[in-house]
A = this chain, B = another copy of it.
Amino acid sequence: MLIIFAALIIFILFMKNKEIQEARMKGYFIEATKELIKGEGLKSLSVRSIADKAGYSFATIYNYFRDVNDLVFLCVIDFQKECEEAVKQKTAHIEVGKEKLKAKIFAWAGYFVEYPGIFEVYYLAKSGELGHRQSTIELITNSLNLVIEDEWNFIKETNPNNYEVFEQKKNALQYQVIGILLLYLNRNFPSDYSEFERLLKYSVDGLFE
């Protein structure tokens, strides 16, 4: 009886080690993938380039991930964290209110302008069969909302009337910013950054009349 118990514990510890090792391996590949995406974007991303950067053979990836797309979409979790952190840090000096909300929106868009490859992964890359990637897709479609959640709630509370209109505007905002980013990053329109900034500012301001 005691022996069975001991064996069980050893087995559990063994499994825990295995999990740690597996997580570590996954981390190596995810880190390599993130660097490549942030650097050159999807065009230079391949199962071979990832493996090279991680210091393993390309086939090893398939011991830890179903396919290369899985690996790419796993990076989104980290990117989102990083993005939220960057926005928080860039807007820390502004006191809560409408201006801070606007600044956060700008900072959010700025993150993707700085890393166009991440924008590719978020919105351009084809997601293949969803299902097990569903939660990641939700993270993506909610990315801006997550970043501005606090500011938005604060403003909503100070203007307790017309709740419906507020939610409405939040949606409209997200679609506009993503649309502007899409044309700017993927279609070079407008062709210079200052004009892009102006368009974005107009769009954001327009929502608060």
User: Interface of A with B (CB < 8 Å)?
Assistant: 43, 123-124, 126-127, 130, 137-138, 140-141, 168-169, 171-172, 174-180, 182-183, 186-189, 199, 202-203, 206
Min CB distance, A167 to chain B, in Å? 10
Q: Report chain B residues within 8 Å CB of A179.
A: 174-179, 182
Most buried by B among A176, A179, A203: A179
Which among B141, B171, B199, B203 is the interface contact of A187 at CB below 8 angstroms? B141
- The complex places the Cα of A174 from the Cα of B140 at a distance, in Å, of 21
In the assembly, how many copies of this chain are there? 2
Min CB distance, A200 to chain B, in Å? 9
Which among B127, B141, B175, B189 is the interface contact of A137 at CB below 8 angstroms? B189
- The complex places the Cα of A206 from the Cα of B206 at a distance, in Å, of 11
Which among B171, B182, B187, B206 is the interface contact of A202 at CB below 8 angstroms? B171
Given contacts A176-B176, A179-B182, 14 further A-B contacts (CB under 8 A): A123-B182, A123-B186, A123-B187, A127-B186, A137-B188, A138-B189, A141-B183, A168-B202, A171-B199, A175-B176, A175-B177, A175-B183, A177-B179, A182-B182
